[in-house]
Structure 1
């Protein structure tokens, strides 16, 4: 750490010994810099504040019906493009600044000056924009700010109208194109269906699903036919000779014998409760009951002038059942044959169906996509038309100039005091840098330690300069000259700073005085 301090002190002593370069640099750079800063033309500023109101009662009412653009993004885009050549030319014409030029070079310089002098800040959520301009003429600066406001508002409204017109033209072109494509797809689909009608299955899903359904119907028809044939066979057996089976059901027919039979059955039940089956009265009652049952049977089977087999309701019902089942079997056989033909027809076309269905699926997909896009474009077209009507009835963005462009006759710049201080500090820095460089190029031993370090020899004593030698007097004189020169430089700086801090003094000396010279 001590070595670092010693080395730093060595540099400082070298700078002090070469301090004349500081005077040379400051007295060369400062006067030139002070004069340059003082002769810079005055800059006059004009500013205005504009508020962009994007609130509208129609926005919440028309949400989902009309196209609503983002006003914030539109304003941000206009701000970013306000300094294009076309807009700068509009501002120059609006402020009559173009009348001050006579050649193309002057006109281009004017456009560059306007572009670099315009400042637009603010915006964002506040929608408050500050527009300012700095120039040589205060009145021209105000005109340029006003022209910028006019171009800003005009571009915002014009871009919105232009965007609406372009959107509608684009939608019209796309609707016409998709309409032609939709008609072509419909024609292709109709032609394909007509050419392949034999492979088409209506409302049954795919062809394979239709085949499975036909097989299911065929299987169900076969089962129904077998069930009906079984029922017919049973009915025919009953009708052809199984009289005993038929006679079992004769008891269900009501005759005049039924009341007496029922009475005897009740009497027999009562006797059996009191007596056994061998009791004479029980046996007598049983004989009478059997006799009545035989008489009823004879009556029903046609003997003794009864109903007979032909008049038996059960047999008549059996005949009707046989006839009905025979007709049902014939009908179901016809239906079974039809189902078998359908299954055979489906199976015969099975090799061509996958390709036909794939083509049909592709055509339907293309047609569905085209139709969806077409209806979406129509919906967007209606939204665009409604949006245009909304824009015609009310403005989406309204501008209010809160602070009109100001006319400031006092110069707003350049910041001469800061520039003067910068010139002074820069000259001192250059002088110190020169002193360090020359002290390194021609080093001077300023201490015993430095001599020991440079030679490697020990120092046993130091001889100081006496007053008779004149060295001390010369060093004092150089110090006084350095201090006086710096004091004089500071006085010059103070004079320039005082003159430039007063606009009237500056104009009197550097504008009118130098202009007269």
Structure 2
């Protein structure tokens, strides 16, 4: 540890002994460094933030809202392409003085490094650019960087809208091609289906449809039989009423004569038969004999001896009975037709299993093709509607949160830090040059270094004794050195003040 301390003390002694050399080197390095810092052009930065509405309300209402983040990602990737950066250069002052293709490529490469497109949040994007051309003034550089960001915003809008339109047009064209192919396939399937149905009309729709038709026919047959039973019961009731109703209305003594008795007996006989009694039943036999006796009596009286008027109730009952009989005949015909249809369907199910399987396949293929065709038609209409939404509502997709403005202060370089760094570098260079020159000379700052160098013991050291005139001269030189060092620091202070005063304004 003592050797390290001794070396440090020797180095400081060597530097102090040659301090004027160190100060001269520091002055030279600082002046050169400060000049270089002054020649570095100011770099200005402009930034814009935009909000991109990827969840468009109108598109959601129409049911066509897609994932807009894919479109934004595509625009971000293409925005910094060479073609778009070339548009920015040629549209601004960045392209002034560029005539060769190589110079243009270099400018594009530099601009690609100075422009950034970043996603701050899900839908919030920032576009940042930096410009610092040495042949332009600070004011021109500030305006130029604002124009660069504005041009990038314009390209962003154009890329998004035109990209949407191009993608939608291409998708519609692809869908039209697919629809043409599906249409041909669907027409061929329809021809096969019609041909099969013409040959096997009972198997239209396949075995599943055949089973459904059998079930429907059985249900309809049960309903028809129930209606037929109800109609037969109603006909029996009306027949009973007809039998008990006189055909004519008698007047005077004839109302209780043989003719009225005959009508009453006939009504009783009809009622007994309506109750389901057979001809061998005693009541039926007795009533039949009575009817025969009364019939002979009425025949012996003669038609001219009886007067009366037709009974309207009897006529109405006859008409109602005829209507019920017609209904029963229609229901019986319907029952026969349903029974025949059920027999035919059952025969088709039992005797044509291979044909039924073929019907299933044809029906299934046709349904799938028709479903795909209708889905493609729906997708095409949605894309067309979305294209109209892009054309009519694209101005609502972009919201410029922070527009690009002309910056008032440069972002680079940090001249204050560079000026201080140059001072430190100058002092270090002066100390380093002084120490190196001391190492090249064969002098020893301490007696210990002399002992180590020669290997001989040092008996003693003689102190330096100065006269009053020499001490005054040394003091004067020290003051001069302090003044020169203070002047170096003063120059730095002046430069810092100038930088602080001018940093808030653009020349």
For this structure pair, what is the TM-score category when the shorter chain's length is used for normalisation?
0.5 to 0.7
Q: 2:92 aligns with which of 68, 91, 95?
A: 95
| Residue aligned with 2:43, SS | strand
State the 1:367 CA deviation: 2.0
201, 206, 210: which one aligns with 2:209: 206
**Partner residue in 1 for 2:187:** 187
After superposition, where does 1:50-89 map in structure 2 within 5 Å?
50=48, 52=50, 64-65=61-62, 82-89=79-86
Partner in structure 1 of residue 42 of structure 2: 44
- Counterparts of 1:363-402 in structure 2, within 5 Å, are 363-391=366-394, 396-397=397-398
**Is residue 83–residue 115 contact of structure 1 (8 Å, CA) maintained in 2?**
yes
Give the corresponding residue for 1:478.
none
Residues 305 and 390 of structure 1: CA distance in aligned 2, closer, same or farther (over 3 Å): same
TM-score by structure 1 length? 0.53
Cα contact 1:201–1:210 (8 A) shared by 2 = no
Q: Deviations over 1:98-141 (max 9, x none)?
A: 44356666554444444444567897678786654334344352
Give the superposition deviation at 1:387: 2.9
In the TM superposition, residue 148 of structure 1 has moved relative to its aligned partner by 0.7
Instruction: Map residues 244-259 of structure 1 onto 2, 5 A cutoff.
Output: 256=256
Tell me, what secondary structure is at the counterpart of 2:406?
Answer: coil
Structure 1 residue aligned with 2:134: 136
Distance 2:359 2:107 in 1: 74
In 1, are the aligned partners of 2:190 and 2:366 still within 8 Å (CA)?
no
- CA RMSD in angstroms, aligned pairs only: 6.3
What does 1:94-493 align with in structure 2 at a 5 Å threshold? 94-101=91-98, 106-118=103-115, 131-139=129-137, 141-142=141-142, 144-197=144-197, 198=200, 200-201=203-204, 206-213=209-216, 256=256, 299-302=290-293, 305-306=296-297, 336-337=339-340, 339-391=342-394, 396-397=397-398, 404-406=405-407, 412-414=413-415, 415-417=417-419, 419-420=421-422, 423=425, 469-470=460-461
Equivalent pairs, count: 386
Structure 1 residues 360 and 297, CA gap change in structure 2 (3 angstroms): closer
* 1:377 CA displacement: 1.3
CA distance 1:87–1:213, change in 2 (3 Å): closer
Aligned match of 1:16: 5
Query: Hey, what's the Cα distance between the residues in 1 that align with 2:117 and 2:340?
Result: 90
Preserved contact between residue 114 and residue 129 of structure 2 (Cα < 8 Å):
no
Secondary structure of residue in 2 paired with 1:206 = helix
Q: Shift of the alpha carbon at 1:471? A: 11
For the residues of structure 2 that align with 1:343 and 1:399, how far apart are their CA atoms?
A: 74
User: Whole-Å Cα distance in 2 between the matches of residues 295 and 257 of structure 1?
Assistant: 20
Structure 1 distance, partners of 2:46, 2:330, is: 103
CA positional deviation for 1:18: 3.7
Separation (CA, whole Å) in 2 of partners of 1:191 and 1:18: 107
Alpha-carbon spacing, 1:212–1:497, altered in 2? closer, same or farther (3 Å): same
Distance 1:408 1:35 in 2: 25
Alignment deviations for residues 57-114 of structure 1 (CA, whole Å, 9 cap, x no partner):
xx76786359778999977876675544333333332333444356666554444444
| Structure 2 residue runs without a partner (length 5+) | 16-21, 247-254, 262-284, 300-313, 433-456, 465-481, 500-507
What is the CA distance between 1:378 and its match in structure 2? 1.3
C-alpha distance in structure 2 between counterparts of 1:85 and 1:131, whole Å: 16
Contact 1:131 1:145 in 2 (8 A): yes
2:496 is the alignment partner of 1:501: yes
Residues 176-225 of structure 1 deviation map (CA, whole Å, 9 limit, x = unaligned): 2133134223302311212211163369952233345556677899x88x
Does the 8 Å contact 1:411/1:503 carry over to 2? no
**What's the secondary structure of 2:204's corresponding residue?**
coil
- Cα 1:336–1:168, aligned 2, differ >3 Å: closer, same or farther? closer
